[in-house]
Amino acid sequence: MRRMLFAPLLCLLALFALPQVHAQAPHLLRAPSISETQIAFRYADDIWLVSRDGGAARRLTSTSNITEGPYFSPDGNTIAYSANTGGNTDIYTISATGGAPKRITYRPGGNFVTGWTPDGHDLLMQSMQNAVRVYFQLYRVHADGSGLPERLPLPSAWYGTLSPDGSHLAYNPWLQWQEESWKRYRGGQTQPVWIVDLKTLDRVKIPRENSNDRYPLWLGDSVYFLSDRNGPTTLFRYDVKSKEVKQLVENHGFELKTLGGRGNTLVYEQFGTIHLYDLTGGADHLVNISLDGDLPSLVPHLAKINSSEIQNADISPTGVRAVFEAHGDIFTVPAEKGDVRNLTNSSGSAERSPAWSPDGKRIAYFSDATGEYKLYLRDQDGLSAPKVIDLGPDPTYYYSPAWSPDSKRIVFSDKRLNLWYVNVDPALGPAKPIKVDTDLREGFGPSGFSASFSPDSQWILYARSLPSLEDAAFLYSIATGKSTQITDGMSNVTNPVFDKNGKYLYFTASTDIGPAIDGFGLGSLNRTTTANVYIAVLSKDEKSPIPPESDDEKSKADDDKKPAPGDAAKSDEKKDAAKDSDKKDDKDKDKKDKPTPPTKIDLDGIQQRILALPIPARNYVTLVAGKEGVILLGEGNAAANPSAGNGIMRSVWRFTLETRKTEDVLHDSTAIATSFDGEKALYMKGSGWFIAKVSDLNPGAADGTPGKGLNLDGMNAKIDPRAEWRQMYAESWRIEREFFYDPGFHGLNLKKISDKYAPYLDGLSCRNDLTYLQKEMLGEITVGHMFIGGPHTDNDTPKSGLLGADYAVDHDRYKFAHIVNGGNWNPKMYSPLTQPGVNVHEGDYLLAVNGTPLHATDNLYAAFEGLAGKQTTITVGSNPEGSGSRDVLVVPVSSEGEMRFHAWIEENIRRTNELSNGQIAYVYLPNTAGEGFDSFNRYFFAQTDKKAVIVDERYNQGGDIADYVIDVLKRTPMLNYESRQGLHTTEPTGAIFGPKAMLINQNAGSGGDAMPWLFRQAKLGPLVGTRTWGGLVGIGGYPTLLDGGSITAPRTALYGLHGEFEIENHGVAPDVEVEDDPKLVAAGHDPQLEKAVSILLDELKQNPPPQFVTPPYPNYHQNDGLGGK
């Protein structure tokens, strides 16, 4: 088997006519806004205008990539929107009559427009620019782009609308992570609408019972909003004076998506259609809009396929070509000579997992060209039609095809944990899949089988899970149809492969992986795991391949047997002649079909014929066979910590059985496979692919990449966007059908819901329309972690720079109001202005950037455009006039997130110490993955001298299950240590035995839901804050969509010990509810943290941690006269 093992557009528009908008299919017209006479809306990633009476619409922009808006200015003359042009989302404005857009924002990070101020002077913007975690705040931005964004005095805010006089704001206080893809959501992020006085910060909450209330719009004395409180999202009104809430529109169809309005008219989107609502008469009507325009995004075209799109790879039998799966097509690429071949050229289907037959004639792969995935066999030149093999009446996803050495059978696995083989030679009978075995554990990736055939093609070797969750090696006999476990199950066996000679097999096995094998819990991280490499002698008649060796002196008799010099020369001549003869004979033999000898396997006693190879134990993640007696071993990171590696094999080791020598031959590769003849290797390093002789692998190569780099420039594919979108639509539902944990899909009939949304396919105008459609339709399943992503696009635009500071305007200059203290010992927390020797202080003025003067009428962030990571000279001074100013060399960063986050943690530690007089520790966990694991270890153990602890998981982004954190927090005293000097210590030493509390909020979810749930179950202390997100399912390991997009289907759900799904779509409620009151936060308070400190101080008074006093030392000499002082 040569399966590739991974350690975990150029458009030719002139060739085609531009498609026109088709009026017959429903279109997705989005986010309407109205002026006195017109409606602006988003379609095909651009802004269009139409009369309020409907009719023909015209395109206003040709920007594309518009992500938010449009929003008409109060006078109707200007339209604001956000667009991603150059890798950053920024705000733009454009005249309603057309013309060139004006860029308003330049600060890196998302800048999303949400509307205008009533006077039209400013825009409202959502941004995370000063946020310490993942939450948004609202800002006012000057409509001409000058000056600084002014943050509204709210802890967080997602969407808002100002009262007509600008004194109050109706707003959603937080973002909902899955607004479009989780219908009927009732977790902790359900969105209320709050009304706040912007001077006093007093607030009023629009009444609700855990509904999702969105898009508030303030007109007159009413706040209009969309809500799902009575079923599908529809239109409601809140009377500011009477505080009455009234439903205005009955809705039994698609959800209402956005809301706008002016005067006596509201405008809203009902999933792709635009409606007007007359406030005077209560009439609601659909606006009929016709679209007439070219849509370049629909043009079929030839596209270059980037190496980043490669999903699977294999190497030809002798290594002259590689075969790749990329963008749903199968390509072969020459090692040196020839052209790249696209064997499939299919926009309307996805081809996956290519495998080259050992005889070199055919390539096997899976394709859904007929509607469901089947096995295809295609000639390697791609010139003839493929042979199609149906894999059964209950199709699914299939993985890892591997040919038998005689090219007559293929073994493969499926999503349902089965291992199969199929005869592809008609002489062997019908091509019907035959089941080999079924695995016992579903993880978050493809089927865990690593299967291969014996050299005589009569045995299948593989590893699978045992009930203990550790893996064992198995041999399946084609002749008997029976499978036999050949390892004892007391170690975790991986990567079993046959030697080319058929006498041995190799595998790796670990006896220390047990604590790390869970994979779902934090307790499995940072566990140093190693594996040894073993060889099994298959026949009981075969001798050991590693017999004892001994160095011995030769006797004189041996020397006497040496030939005379002349005789030696004659002997050498005979040997050379014999070699030449052998070479000729070998060539003659190669011309004939040489029968493969049977692979003799004696299953009885095979465990006694398993031997350890003299190879150092390491964390081997890959083992592939080369030629006879040669294997390659990929070494991963020693610790099972996802933050430590990115799937790169630190080394590839070559072991030669004859010499028993292990050599380090390749560094920092991410994939490796060997040719069938064992002579060549295909490997990936960085973004490049290489073919090298196995014997030539050597990290000392000039550029560290031995062999020939493959030229992938010729990987081109014919792209028909509509055909691709239809395939990805079907793929979306197939992924849900096969991966979703509940076979009943939460009561949803997948065919009915697919049929409901299918009519929109022919009306899609761009790739973002497909994503929008996928979110809407998959949201019907009602589940967390339903994430839909479009294709990744590379962007080389230089990023704008930031200095790690907050600014104020003073005397027409920008002044450093606050400088963020990062953690300069960590590159992620690099703070440009706090570097040694910079000496810029709060209160100094920023006068110029790279010699260009800077004034408050200029856009501050525009001055740093493209300067991230580049040496930049700033001119600073202690006064706005510039006298005594000086130039300072700094290196701006592209993001301030990590440094602001670090500063926030340090401030919380300081505040907790201050409020508790040093008695309470503060520990923050940003997630329950590698970063959270590291953060807990850093902050908890360094504060075990405290009496109590607050664990803060607000804004926790989840990851794994925090079993490790709970286990540490649960530690109780076991014994004490007494010694002559030093501190008195208690075992366990890494513990805080006093009271505990955990801070939670609506922006903690997934693993951030599970951690407080487990904290409560362990009765460790109170939960303080607000209810968590409520998304406790697991995702991972899905097929990538044809164009690189992504779809999730929660494949694991977590339920409690009482048999209920307690947390999903509910969240974890606090024991003590404390909201972030805007008034308190604006005054410098952290209400949740302060409440937790207060609770623990009270608890310390009532139940202080145990104090242990050393007992009297024993005295055995009181009465024997030997005692004394």
List the catalytic residue out of 898, 1064, 1075, 1099: 1064
What is the crossing angle of helices 767-778 and 721-739, to 10°?
A: 20
Integer Cα distance of 534 and 610 in angstroms: 7
The yes-or-no verdict on residue 361 having pLDDT over 70 is yes
The yes-or-no verdict on residue 642 having pLDDT over 80 is no
Catalytic status, residue 555: no
In this prediction, residues 830-855 reach a mean pLDDT of: 96
Catalytic status, residue 898: no
Confidence grade of residue 285 (pLDDT, cut at 50, 70, 90): very high
Question: Pairing state of beta strands 1023-1025 and 996-1000?
Answer: parallel
Confidence grade of residue 885 (pLDDT, cut at 50, 70, 90): very high
Return the higher-pLDDT residue of 615 and 524: 615
For 765-818, how does the pLDDT look when each residue is reduced to its tens digit (9 = 90+)?
A: 999 999 999 999 999 999 999 999 999 877 778 889 999 999 999 999 999 999
Residue ranges covered by each domain of the chain: 29-293, 301-389, 805-896, 917-1032+1067-1102
Note the pLDDT of residue 447.
67
Tokens of 210: 């855990």
In this prediction, residues 396-411 reach a mean pLDDT of: 97
Note the pLDDT of residue 570.
44
With CA atoms as reference, report the closest residue to 846 among 893, 813, 892. Answer: 813
Integer Cα distance of 248 and 244 in angstroms: 12
The yes-or-no verdict on residue 573 having pLDDT over 60 is no
For 455-479, how does the pLDDT look when each residue is reduced to its tens digit (9 = 90+)?
A: 999 999 999 999 999 999 999 999 9
Note the pLDDT of residue 796.
73
Residues in the chain: 1125
The yes-or-no verdict on residue 4 having pLDDT over 80 is no
Q: Which residues of 854-878 are buried (b: 16+ CB within 10 A; e: fewer)?
A: bebebbbbebbbebbeeebebbbbe
Strand partners, 259: 268
> Beta-carbon neighbour count of residue 251 at 10 Å?
17
Note the pLDDT of residue 629.
97
Note the pLDDT of residue 7.
39
* Lowest-confidence region among 56-70, 267-281, 590-604: 590-604
Secondary-structure breakdown of the chain: helix, strand, coil percentages, each rounded to the nearest 5: 15, 35, 50
Integer Cα distance of 1051 and 14 in angstroms: 45
Superfamily name and number for 917-1032+1067-1102: 2-enoyl-CoA Hydratase; Chain A, domain 1 (3.90.226.10)
Integer Cα distance of 975 and 983 in angstroms: 14
For 1012-1066, how does the pLDDT look when each residue is reduced to its tens digit (9 = 90+)?
A: 999 999 999 999 999 999 999 999 999 999 999 999 999 999 999 999 999 999 9
Pair 655, 633: CB distance under 8 Å: yes
The yes-or-no verdict on residue 607 having pLDDT over 80 is yes
Q: Is the peptide bond prior to 70 cis by the omega test (within 30 degrees of 0)? A: yes
Tokens of 823: 């953690």
Confidence grade of residue 637 (pLDDT, cut at 50, 70, 90): confident
Pair 905, 899: CB distance under 8 Å: no
The yes-or-no verdict on residue 739 having pLDDT over 70 is yes
Phi, then psi, of 754 in degrees rounded to 5: -65, -45
With CA atoms as reference, report the closest residue to 113 among 157, 51, 67, 146. Answer: 67
Report the CATH fold assignment for 805-896.
Pdz3 Domain (2.30.42)
Note the pLDDT of residue 199.
97
Note the pLDDT of residue 516.
80
At position 957, the amino acid (one-letter code) is Q
Confidence grade of residue 130 (pLDDT, cut at 50, 70, 90): confident
The yes-or-no verdict on residue 47 having pLDDT over 60 is yes
Q: What is the pTM of this model?
A: 0.93
Integer Cα distance of 777 and 796 in angstroms: 34
For 147-157, how does the pLDDT look when each residue is reduced to its tens digit (9 = 90+)?
A: 999 999 999 99
With CA atoms as reference, report the closest residue to 868 among 104, 91, 107. Answer: 107
Return the higher-pLDDT residue of 811 and 135: 811
Domain 29-293 has CATH 3.10.20.520: no
With CA atoms as reference, report the closest residue to 789 among 728, 743, 730, 737. Answer: 728
CA atoms within 13 A on the CB side of 915: 25
Pair 880, 1056: CB distance under 8 Å: no
Phi, then psi, of 284 in degrees rounded to 5: -125, 130
Note the pLDDT of residue 558.
57
Pair 78, 20: CB distance under 8 Å: no
Q: Strand order in 329-334's β-sheet?
A: 310-315, 321-326, 329-334, 341-342
With CA atoms as reference, report the closest residue to 955 among 930, 925, 984. Answer: 925
What is the crossing angle of helices 721-739 and 750-757, to 10°?
A: 160
Tokens of 882: 């510039």
Note the pLDDT of residue 581.
46
Please report where in the chains the tokens 């014919």 appear, as a residue: 718
Return the higher-pLDDT residue of 486 and 582: 486
Note the pLDDT of residue 519.
65
Catalytic status, residue 1006: yes
Note the pLDDT of residue 284.
93
pLDDT above 90: percentage of residues in the chain? 84
Contacts of 922 (CB under 8 A, 6+ apart): 908, 909, 911, 912, 913, 939, 943, 949, 950, 952, 1089
In this prediction, residues 875-901 reach a mean pLDDT of: 95
The yes-or-no verdict on residue 954 having pLDDT over 80 is yes
Integer Cα distance of 404 and 451 in angstroms: 11
Tokens of 20: 């026109």
Report the CATH fold assignment for 301-389.
Thrombin, subunit H (2.40.10)
Integer Cα distance of 722 and 929 in angstroms: 39
List the catalytic residue out of 35, 227, 447, 1006: 1006
Strands (DSSP E) found in 597-719: 610-612, 620-625, 630-635, 649-656, 661-674, 680-685, 688-693, 708-709, 716-719
Query: Could you give the C-alpha distances from 663 to 63, 671, 681, 700, 1061, in angstroms and in order?
Result: 55, 18, 16, 12, 52
In this prediction, residues 382-398 reach a mean pLDDT of: 96
Pair 942, 934: CB distance under 8 Å: no
> Beta-carbon neighbour count of residue 200 at 10 Å?
10
List the catalytic residue out of 27, 301, 327, 785: 785
The yes-or-no verdict on residue 9 having pLDDT over 90 is no
For 83-110, how does the pLDDT look when each residue is reduced to its tens digit (9 = 90+)?
A: 998 789 999 999 999 999 999 999 998 9
Please report where in the chains the tokens 């040719």 appear, as a residue: 675
Note the pLDDT of residue 591.
43
Confidence grade of residue 828 (pLDDT, cut at 50, 70, 90): confident
Integer Cα distance of 614 and 608 in angstroms: 17
Integer Cα distance of 215 and 171 in angstroms: 8
The yes-or-no verdict on residue 218 having pLDDT over 60 is yes
Pair 921, 950: CB distance under 8 Å: yes
Strands (DSSP E) found in 357-403: 362-367, 374-379, 387-389, 398-403
The yes-or-no verdict on residue 597 having pLDDT over 90 is yes
- Average pLDDT score over the chain: 92
Find the Cα–Cα–Cα–Cα dihedral 463, 468, 470, 475, rounded to 10°: -20
Tokens of 967: 């286990």
What 3-state class would DSSP assign to 1012? helix
Note the pLDDT of residue 699.
81
Strands (DSSP E) found in 85-233: 89-95, 102-103, 111-116, 122-127, 137-142, 150-151, 159-162, 168-172, 194-197, 203-205, 213-219, 222-227
At position 830, the amino acid (one-letter code) is Y
